[in-house]
Amino acid sequence: MLFAILISSHSGDPLYVTPVVRHIVRDPSITRQNGEKIHNIVFVMGESSLATHYGIYGYKSSNTTPVLDKYKEQGKICVIQNSHSAADMTRSSVPMTFSFFSPKQQDTLLSEKNIIELAQDQGYKTFWISSQDGTGPYARNYGYISEFSNYVTRGDLNNTENGIRSAQDDTLLPVIKQKFSDTAPYKLYVIHIYGSHQNYDDKITLQDVKELPQAITYDQSIHHTDRLLGEIMDMAKQELGDYTLIYTSDHGEIVGVGHGIQYGGYDQYNVPFLMYDPSKKYCNIAEEFEEKRGYYSSLVNKYILLSMLGYPFSEPEIEKLIPDDIILHSDSKVYDYKSIPQ
């Protein structure tokens, strides 16, 4: 079902596109909605993050992830060792997590309920807090999804009083802290950061340079994301108490080159994936999928989120829903992951 969109303006913010009506159709994979629900879900979507430059993935050249290293050593997070995105560009990869948009079914972005709507159907108050804009040809797909949220703020939207600056992830922290204090019993937070997108040097602070003075700028940007995640988790513990957190990235990065490169190889797909999951239930789903397939695909993200929201999916069910390891490449063609252009 395609439906109309309306151009409007709010509080002096730039013009943007707003959904007029909610979707009616649910994806046919959703057959139950009576599962256990997590009270507070925090999903941090990173940007251009190459897993092999993370200390938690064995990187030795720089101490890029001291905060996550500590969480891992203490057994507080699970880290999926072999994870890849299903696209090498943000405009395709982010919708694959927060809607049923997929390499072979791209029309579902407009025709079916997205994850934000499905969360609201389960009684969740939803928040989308982003340092990335949501308009233009490279951002509109996920900007569109964001505007279904009960609360949304981006660098280009609803930002008159928030002071969020595009590409400056630290400016999200006051808004995150404020919204973490919301008293709704069930809440879903999507935090979309700029992470390690080029130019790398405007994603870091003097603290990152001071702590990693000999590191390349890209590694300093990962160090910055590591610190940001630590602050978000500290605030979540203080304000939310009972919460589960997922962190991953939209895609990887060819360091010094970028992503969305036709013959760029696998670095632009290799992403981190980790969870703070006290129950271990959702970590087990991800780990079992990786163990059986030898990899974890970001196409699984939505099903783990749905399970947290009370739409239960077991690992065998997810495996049947994702029979092939396919990706949507920057040339808009679908490939088996083992056969991407190089």
The ranges assigned to domains in the chain are 37-339
Angle at 45 between CA 41 and CA 47, to 5 degrees: 170
The pLDDT of residue 179: 97
The pLDDT of residue 165: 80
Residue 320: partners with Cβ closer than 8 Å, 6 or more residues away = none
> What mean pLDDT comes out for the span 287-292?
97
219: pLDDT strictly greater than 90: yes
The pLDDT of residue 296: 98
- The CATH number of 37-339 is 3.40.720.10
Cβ distance 266 to 64 under 8 Å?
Answer: no
The pLDDT of residue 20: 54
153-196 confidence digits (pLDDT tens): 998 888 777 888 877 899 999 999 999 999 999 999 999 999 99
What type of residue is 317? Answer: E
The model's confidence at residue 17, banded by pLDDT at 50, 70 and 90, is: very low
Q: Return mean pLDDT, the chain.
A: 93
DSSP structure string for 279-326: T-HHHHHHHHHHHHHSSEEGGGHHHHHHHHTT----HHHHHHH--S-E
Where is average pLDDT lowest: 26-30, 163-167, 191-195, 248-252? Answer: 163-167
In this structure, are strands 273-276 and 78-79 parallel, antiparallel, or unpaired?
A: antiparallel
> What mean pLDDT comes out for the span 76-103?
98
> What mean pLDDT comes out for the span 271-284?
98
The pLDDT of residue 1: 32
18: pLDDT strictly greater than 60: no
Q: Rg of the chain over CA atoms, in angstroms?
A: 19
Query: pTM, whole model, 2 decimals?
Result: 0.94
Q: How far are the Cα atoms of 27, 129, 135, 289 from residue 314, in angstroms, in the given order? A: 17, 29, 35, 10
> What mean pLDDT comes out for the span 78-92?
97
> What mean pLDDT comes out for the span 197-221?
97
Question: 218-243 as b/e, with b when 16 or more CB fall inside 10 Å?
Answer: bbbbbbbbbbbbbebbebbeebbeeb
In this structure, are strands 244-249 and 273-276 parallel, antiparallel, or unpaired?
A: antiparallel
> What mean pLDDT comes out for the span 41-66?
98
Cβ distance 24 to 3 under 8 Å?
Answer: no
The pLDDT of residue 200: 97
304-341 confidence digits (pLDDT tens): 999 999 999 999 999 999 999 999 999 999 999 999 99
d(CA 21, CA 3): 8
Q: Which residue has the higher pLDDT, 16 or 200?
A: 200
14: pLDDT strictly greater than 80: no
135: pLDDT strictly greater than 80: yes
Joined together, the tokens standing for residue 77 give 């997070």
Residues β-bridged to residue 7: 17
The pLDDT of residue 7: 33
Percentage with pLDDT > 70 across the chain = 94
Tell me the CB-side half-sphere exposure of residue 221, using CA atoms within 13 A: 26
